[in-house]
Homo-oligomer: A and B are copies of this chain.
Protein backbone atom coordinates (compact mmCIF):
# COMPACT_ATOMS: atom_id res chain seq x y z
CA UNK A 1 0.00 0.00 0.00
CA UNK A 2 1.41 3.39 -0.92
CA UNK A 3 1.95 6.08 1.66
CA UNK A 4 -0.81 8.22 0.24
CA UNK A 5 -3.21 5.29 0.35
CA UNK A 6 -2.32 4.65 3.99
CA UNK A 7 -2.88 8.29 4.75
CA UNK A 8 -6.25 8.35 2.98
CA UNK A 9 -7.37 5.27 4.78
CA UNK A 10 -6.25 6.68 8.11
CA UNK A 11 -8.06 9.90 7.49
CA UNK A 12 -11.21 8.05 6.52
CA UNK A 13 -11.10 5.83 9.57
CA UNK A 14 -10.44 8.77 11.84
CA UNK A 15 -13.59 10.41 10.56
CA UNK A 16 -15.81 7.45 11.33
CA UNK A 17 -16.30 8.89 14.81
CA UNK A 18 -16.52 7.05 18.07
CA UNK A 19 -19.43 4.89 19.06
CA UNK A 20 -18.77 2.40 21.84
CA UNK A 21 -19.02 -1.19 20.68
CA UNK A 22 -19.74 -4.03 23.07
CA UNK A 23 -17.52 -7.00 22.41
CA UNK A 24 -17.35 -10.56 23.68
CA UNK A 25 -15.23 -11.26 26.76
CA UNK A 26 -11.90 -12.79 25.73
CA UNK A 27 -9.11 -14.38 27.71
CA UNK A 28 -5.65 -12.87 27.35
CA UNK A 29 -2.26 -14.55 27.31
CA UNK A 30 -2.08 -14.23 31.10
CA UNK A 31 -5.32 -16.15 31.53
CA UNK A 32 -7.23 -13.08 32.68
CA UNK A 33 -10.47 -12.33 30.97
CA UNK A 34 -10.58 -8.80 29.65
CA UNK A 35 -13.16 -7.02 27.62
CA UNK A 36 -11.44 -6.97 24.29
CA UNK A 37 -12.00 -4.40 21.62
CA UNK A 38 -10.24 -5.34 18.37
CA UNK A 39 -8.87 -2.28 16.67
CA UNK A 40 -11.18 -0.90 14.05
CA UNK A 41 -9.60 2.41 13.25
CA UNK A 42 -11.97 4.18 15.55
CA UNK A 43 -11.08 6.43 18.47
CA UNK A 44 -12.02 5.56 22.02
CA UNK A 45 -14.00 8.26 23.81
CA UNK A 46 -12.32 9.55 26.96
CA UNK A 47 -14.07 11.39 29.77
CA UNK A 48 -11.86 13.47 32.03
CA UNK A 49 -12.88 13.48 35.69
CA UNK A 50 -11.65 16.67 37.34
CA UNK A 51 -10.86 19.73 35.26
CA UNK A 52 -7.85 21.09 37.11
CA UNK A 53 -4.62 22.29 35.59
CA UNK A 54 -3.44 18.91 34.27
CA UNK A 55 -6.72 18.28 32.44
CA UNK A 56 -6.91 21.81 31.14
CA UNK A 57 -3.30 22.43 30.14
CA UNK A 58 -2.03 18.96 29.27
CA UNK A 59 -4.70 16.31 28.68
CA UNK A 60 -7.29 18.27 26.70
CA UNK A 61 -4.72 19.78 24.32
CA UNK A 62 -3.09 16.35 23.95
CA UNK A 63 -6.45 14.81 23.07
CA UNK A 64 -6.54 17.11 20.04
CA UNK A 65 -3.48 15.23 18.74
CA UNK A 66 -4.31 11.62 19.61
CA UNK A 67 -4.95 8.93 17.02
CA UNK A 68 -6.62 6.29 19.17
CA UNK A 69 -8.77 8.38 21.46
CA UNK A 70 -10.60 11.66 21.67
CA UNK A 71 -12.02 13.95 24.33
CA UNK A 72 -15.64 12.75 24.53
CA UNK A 73 -16.86 13.95 27.93
CA UNK A 74 -16.05 15.68 31.21
CA UNK A 75 -16.96 15.22 34.85
CA UNK A 76 -16.75 18.32 37.03
CA UNK A 77 -18.27 19.78 40.14
CA UNK A 78 -18.05 23.31 38.74
CA UNK A 79 -20.89 24.30 36.35
CA UNK A 80 -18.93 27.22 34.89
CA UNK A 81 -16.12 24.85 33.92
CA UNK A 82 -18.65 22.52 32.29
CA UNK A 83 -19.92 25.41 30.13
CA UNK A 84 -16.42 26.46 29.18
CA UNK A 85 -15.32 22.96 28.17
CA UNK A 86 -18.51 22.18 26.22
CA UNK A 87 -17.95 25.26 24.12
CA UNK A 88 -14.22 24.98 23.72
CA UNK A 89 -14.17 21.28 22.82
CA UNK A 90 -17.61 20.87 21.29
CA UNK A 91 -18.72 18.40 23.97
CA UNK A 92 -22.45 17.58 23.93
CA UNK A 93 -24.33 18.31 27.15
CA UNK A 94 -25.20 14.61 27.42
CA UNK A 95 -21.52 13.85 27.94
CA UNK A 96 -21.09 16.24 30.84
CA UNK A 97 -21.51 14.94 34.39
CA UNK A 98 -21.07 16.18 37.91
CA UNK A 99 -19.86 14.02 40.78
CA UNK A 100 -23.40 13.03 41.71
CA UNK A 101 -24.60 12.14 38.22
CA UNK A 102 -21.31 10.49 37.31
CA UNK A 103 -22.56 6.90 37.62
CA UNK A 104 -25.01 7.45 34.76
CA UNK A 105 -21.94 7.43 32.50
CA UNK A 106 -22.57 3.65 32.43
CA UNK A 107 -25.25 4.30 29.83
CA UNK A 108 -23.14 6.60 27.68
CA UNK A 109 -21.92 4.76 24.57
CA UNK A 110 -19.64 7.69 23.65
CA UNK A 111 -17.44 7.09 26.68
CA UNK A 112 -15.08 4.10 26.63
CA UNK A 113 -12.47 5.29 29.09
CA UNK A 114 -12.70 7.39 32.25
CA UNK A 115 -9.52 9.33 33.12
CA UNK A 116 -9.47 10.22 36.84
CA UNK A 117 -7.53 13.47 37.36
CA UNK A 118 -8.81 14.31 40.86
CA UNK A 119 -6.86 14.93 44.08
CA UNK A 120 -5.12 11.74 45.21
CA UNK A 121 -7.54 10.91 48.01
CA UNK A 122 -10.46 10.81 45.54
CA UNK A 123 -8.84 8.38 43.10
CA UNK A 124 -10.15 5.28 44.82
CA UNK A 125 -13.81 6.32 44.82
CA UNK A 126 -13.89 7.45 41.21
CA UNK A 127 -11.86 4.57 39.80
CA UNK A 128 -14.18 2.12 41.54
CA UNK A 129 -17.29 3.98 40.32
CA UNK A 130 -15.88 4.18 36.78
CA UNK A 131 -15.20 0.44 36.74
CA UNK A 132 -18.66 -0.25 38.12
CA UNK A 133 -20.03 1.91 35.31
CA UNK A 134 -18.34 -0.50 32.90
CA UNK A 135 -15.56 1.78 31.70
CA UNK A 136 -11.84 1.25 31.34
CA UNK A 137 -9.96 3.59 33.64
CA UNK A 138 -6.86 5.70 33.51
CA UNK A 139 -5.92 7.11 36.92
CA UNK A 140 -3.35 9.81 37.61
CA UNK A 141 -0.31 9.08 39.78
CA UNK A 142 0.05 8.45 42.65
CA UNK A 143 -2.58 5.75 42.21
CA UNK A 144 -3.97 6.38 45.72
CA UNK A 145 -2.85 7.40 49.17
CA UNK A 146 -2.82 3.90 50.68
CA UNK A 147 -2.00 0.42 49.37
CA UNK A 148 -5.45 -0.70 50.55
CA UNK A 149 -7.10 1.85 48.28
CA UNK A 150 -4.95 0.63 45.37
CA UNK A 151 -6.01 -2.94 46.04
CA UNK A 152 -9.68 -1.92 46.08
CA UNK A 153 -9.23 -0.17 42.74
CA UNK A 154 -7.51 -3.18 41.17
CA UNK A 155 -10.21 -5.45 42.56
CA UNK A 156 -13.04 -3.28 41.25
CA UNK A 157 -11.59 -3.17 37.74
CA UNK A 158 -10.98 -6.91 37.73
CA UNK A 159 -14.54 -7.55 38.91
CA UNK A 160 -15.93 -5.27 36.22
CA UNK A 161 -13.70 -6.92 33.65
CA UNK A 162 -12.14 -3.55 32.79
CA UNK A 163 -8.54 -2.49 32.44
CA UNK A 164 -6.84 0.01 34.75
CA UNK A 165 -3.92 2.18 33.62
CA UNK A 166 -1.97 4.62 35.81
CA UNK A 167 -0.83 7.98 34.39
CA UNK A 168 2.73 6.76 33.85
CA UNK A 169 3.19 8.77 30.66
CA UNK A 170 6.99 8.49 30.71
CA UNK A 171 6.83 4.80 29.81
CA UNK A 172 5.75 6.01 26.35
CA UNK A 173 8.28 8.85 26.12
CA UNK A 174 11.29 8.26 23.80
CA UNK A 175 14.09 9.73 25.99
CA UNK A 176 12.79 7.74 28.95
CA UNK A 177 12.49 4.56 26.89
CA UNK A 178 16.08 5.07 25.78
CA UNK A 179 17.44 5.34 29.35
CA UNK A 180 15.37 2.28 30.30
CA UNK A 181 17.14 0.47 27.47
CA UNK A 182 20.60 1.82 28.42
CA UNK A 183 20.09 0.69 32.01
CA UNK A 184 18.21 -2.56 31.63
CA UNK A 185 20.34 -3.80 28.72
CA UNK A 186 23.52 -2.76 30.59
CA UNK A 187 24.80 -0.82 27.59
CA UNK A 188 27.41 0.83 29.88
CA UNK A 189 27.73 -2.24 32.07
CA UNK A 190 25.83 -2.81 35.30
CA UNK A 191 24.44 0.27 37.06
CA UNK A 192 26.33 1.09 40.25
CA UNK A 193 24.66 4.30 41.42
CA UNK A 194 21.58 6.33 40.57
CA UNK A 195 20.81 9.90 41.51
CA UNK A 196 17.11 10.37 40.85
CA UNK A 197 15.52 13.53 42.17
CA UNK A 198 12.47 15.64 41.48
CA UNK A 199 11.33 18.79 43.23
CA UNK A 200 10.01 22.28 42.62
CA UNK A 201 9.07 25.39 44.55
CA UNK A 202 5.37 25.10 45.17
CA UNK A 203 3.21 28.20 44.98
CA UNK A 204 -0.25 28.59 46.52
CA UNK A 205 -0.03 27.03 50.00
CA UNK A 206 -3.82 26.50 50.11
CA UNK A 207 -3.88 23.97 47.25
CA UNK A 208 -4.89 20.35 47.92
CA UNK A 209 -1.30 19.17 47.33
CA UNK A 210 -0.39 20.78 50.68
CA UNK A 211 -3.10 18.91 52.60
CA UNK A 212 -2.14 15.50 53.85
CA UNK A 213 -5.66 14.09 53.87
CA UNK A 214 -6.12 14.89 50.18
CA UNK A 215 -2.60 14.34 48.87
CA UNK A 216 -1.45 11.57 51.23
CA UNK A 217 1.80 13.45 51.78
CA UNK A 218 3.91 16.18 50.28
CA UNK A 219 6.36 16.29 47.38
CA UNK A 220 7.08 12.56 47.66
CA UNK A 221 3.51 11.75 46.63
CA UNK A 222 3.43 14.35 43.90
CA UNK A 223 6.86 14.34 42.21
CA UNK A 224 9.06 12.10 44.36
CA UNK A 225 7.13 9.22 42.81
CA UNK A 226 8.85 10.07 39.51
CA UNK A 227 12.25 9.72 41.16
CA UNK A 228 11.17 6.36 42.60
CA UNK A 229 9.96 5.28 39.16
CA UNK A 230 13.20 6.51 37.59
CA UNK A 231 15.41 4.39 39.82
CA UNK A 232 13.15 1.38 39.16
CA UNK A 233 12.91 1.71 35.40
CA UNK A 234 16.58 2.27 34.67
CA UNK A 235 17.52 -0.77 36.76
CA UNK A 236 14.47 -2.83 35.87
CA UNK A 237 14.66 -3.98 39.48
CA UNK A 238 12.67 -3.63 42.68
CA UNK A 239 14.45 -2.04 45.67
CA UNK A 240 15.21 -4.39 48.57
CA UNK A 241 15.78 -1.80 51.30
CA UNK A 242 15.28 1.88 51.97
CA UNK A 243 16.60 4.54 54.34
CA UNK A 244 15.14 8.05 54.35
CA UNK A 245 15.49 11.42 56.06
CA UNK A 246 13.16 14.40 56.40
CA UNK A 247 14.92 17.71 56.15
CA UNK A 248 13.91 20.35 58.71
CA UNK A 249 11.07 22.65 57.67
CA UNK A 250 12.30 26.11 56.75
CA UNK A 251 8.72 27.36 56.32
CA UNK A 252 6.87 25.50 59.09
CA UNK A 253 3.63 27.43 58.59
CA UNK A 254 3.50 26.59 54.89
CA UNK A 255 4.49 22.97 55.49
CA UNK A 256 2.53 22.27 58.64
CA UNK A 257 0.76 19.32 57.03
CA UNK A 258 3.30 17.72 54.69
CA UNK A 259 7.07 17.31 54.36
CA UNK A 260 9.09 20.08 52.71
CA UNK A 261 12.12 18.10 51.51
CA UNK A 262 12.84 14.40 51.82
CA UNK A 263 15.86 12.23 50.97
CA UNK A 264 15.90 8.46 50.49
CA UNK A 265 18.30 5.72 49.50
CA UNK A 266 17.40 2.41 47.86
CA UNK A 267 19.42 -0.77 47.48
CA UNK A 268 18.64 -2.99 44.50
CA UNK A 269 19.27 -6.75 44.20
CA UNK A 270 22.08 -6.25 41.66
CA UNK A 271 23.99 -4.04 44.11
CA UNK A 272 22.98 -0.79 42.45
CA UNK A 273 22.17 1.94 44.98
CA UNK A 274 20.24 5.17 44.60
CA UNK A 275 20.19 8.47 46.44
CA UNK A 276 17.14 10.67 45.84
CA UNK A 277 15.71 13.99 46.89
CA UNK A 278 12.21 15.37 46.54
CA UNK A 279 11.15 18.83 47.58
CA UNK A 280 8.42 21.46 47.45
CA UNK A 281 11.08 24.07 48.20
CA UNK A 282 13.90 23.37 45.74
CA UNK A 283 13.90 22.92 41.99
CA UNK A 284 15.63 19.64 41.05
CA UNK A 285 14.96 17.29 38.17
CA UNK A 286 17.53 14.70 37.26
CA UNK A 287 17.93 11.00 36.62
CA UNK A 288 21.61 10.04 36.54
CA UNK A 289 23.04 6.54 36.40
CA UNK A 290 26.72 5.74 36.94
CA UNK A 291 27.48 2.38 35.36
CA UNK A 292 30.59 0.25 35.43
CA UNK A 293 31.80 1.58 32.06
CA UNK A 294 30.11 4.96 31.69
CA UNK A 295 27.07 6.95 32.66
CA UNK A 296 23.83 8.32 31.33
CA UNK A 297 21.59 11.15 32.45
CA UNK A 298 18.26 12.81 31.79
CA UNK A 299 17.83 16.39 32.99
CA UNK A 300 15.08 17.49 32.78
CA UNK A 301 13.99 13.93 33.41
CA UNK A 302 10.37 13.89 34.53
CA UNK A 303 8.55 17.04 33.39
CA UNK A 304 6.24 17.44 30.43
CA UNK A 305 9.16 17.94 28.08
CA UNK A 306 11.19 18.37 26.13
CA UNK A 307 13.41 16.07 28.15
CA UNK A 308 17.13 16.21 27.55
CA UNK A 309 19.67 13.42 27.83
CA UNK A 310 23.34 12.69 27.55
CA UNK A 311 25.68 9.80 28.14
CA UNK A 312 29.42 9.38 28.64
CA UNK A 313 29.51 8.89 24.86
CA UNK A 314 27.51 11.96 23.85
CA UNK A 315 24.02 13.41 23.71
CA UNK A 316 20.90 11.24 23.61
CA UNK A 317 18.99 12.02 20.42
CA UNK A 318 15.29 11.19 20.46
CA UNK A 319 12.15 12.72 18.99
CA UNK A 320 10.34 15.27 21.13
CA UNK A 321 6.73 14.16 21.57
CA UNK A 322 3.61 15.19 23.43
CA UNK A 323 3.87 12.95 26.50
CA UNK A 324 0.19 12.88 27.28
CA UNK A 325 -0.83 12.14 23.69
CA UNK A 326 1.69 9.27 23.50
CA UNK A 327 0.46 7.89 26.80
CA UNK A 328 -3.25 7.98 26.04
CA UNK A 329 -2.71 6.73 22.50
CA UNK A 330 -0.54 3.88 23.78
CA UNK A 331 -3.08 2.81 26.38
CA UNK A 332 -5.98 3.14 23.94
CA UNK A 333 -4.17 1.22 21.22
CA UNK A 334 -3.91 -1.77 23.53
CA UNK A 335 -7.53 -1.38 24.57
CA UNK A 336 -8.59 -1.21 20.92
CA UNK A 337 -6.41 -4.21 20.09
CA UNK A 338 -7.85 -6.17 22.96
CA UNK A 339 -4.45 -6.56 24.57
CA UNK A 340 -3.62 -6.66 28.23
CA UNK A 341 -1.89 -3.41 29.17
CA UNK A 342 1.85 -3.69 29.88
CA UNK A 343 2.42 -4.47 33.54
CA UNK A 344 4.51 -1.35 34.22
CA UNK A 345 1.61 1.04 33.62
CA UNK A 346 -1.17 -0.88 35.38
CA UNK A 347 -2.73 -0.73 38.83
CA UNK A 348 -0.24 -3.35 40.01
CA UNK A 349 2.58 -0.96 39.19
CA UNK A 350 0.72 1.89 40.88
CA UNK A 351 0.38 -0.26 43.98
CA UNK A 352 4.11 -1.09 43.96
CA UNK A 353 4.94 2.61 43.93
CA UNK A 354 2.46 3.51 46.67
CA UNK A 355 3.93 0.76 48.86
CA UNK A 356 7.40 2.21 48.26
CA UNK A 357 6.24 5.74 49.06
CA UNK A 358 4.82 4.44 52.34
CA UNK A 359 8.06 2.62 53.09
CA UNK A 360 10.05 5.82 52.46
CA UNK A 361 7.87 7.71 54.93
CA UNK A 362 8.21 4.89 57.46
CA UNK A 363 12.01 4.88 57.05
CA UNK A 364 12.15 8.66 57.53
CA UNK A 365 9.85 8.57 60.55
CA UNK A 366 11.70 5.75 62.31
CA UNK A 367 15.23 6.56 61.19
CA UNK A 368 15.58 2.84 60.43
CA UNK A 369 16.49 0.93 57.32
CA UNK A 370 13.33 -0.76 56.06
CA UNK A 371 13.62 -4.22 54.54
CA UNK A 372 11.48 -4.30 51.40
CA UNK A 373 12.02 -7.97 50.62
CA UNK A 374 9.45 -9.07 53.18
Measured CB to CB, the residues of A under 8 A from B are 192-193, 195, 197, 199, 201, 243, 245, 247-248, 250, 261, 263, 265, 267, 271, 273, 275, 277, 279, 281-284, 286, 288, 290, 292, 294-295, 367-369
Contact = CB atoms under 8 A, between A and B. Distances in A.
Return the 4 tightest CB-CB contacts between A and B, nearest first. Answer: A193-B282, A250-B271, A282-B290, A192-B282
Nearest to A289: B282
A283 B265 contact: no
Contacts of A261: 192-193, 273
A369 B263 CA distance: 14
- State the majority secondary structure of interface residues on A: strand
A284 B288 contact: yes
A369 B284 CA distance: 24
Nearest to A290: B282
A199 B281 CA distance: 27
Contacts of A250: 192, 271
Nearest to A273: B247
A286 B294 CA distance: 15
Contacts of A284: 193, 195, 288, 290
A69 to B, nearest CB: 36
A294 B243 CA distance: 29
Contacts of A283: 290, 294-295
A193 B284 CA distance: 9
Given A195-B286, A245-B369, 19 more contacts: A192-B250, A192-B279, A192-B282, A193-B199, A193-B282, A195-B195, A195-B197, A195-B277, A197-B275, A201-B292, A243-B245, A275-B275, A282-B290, A283-B290, A283-B294, A283-B295, A284-B288, A367-B367, A367-B369
A292 B197 CA distance: 17
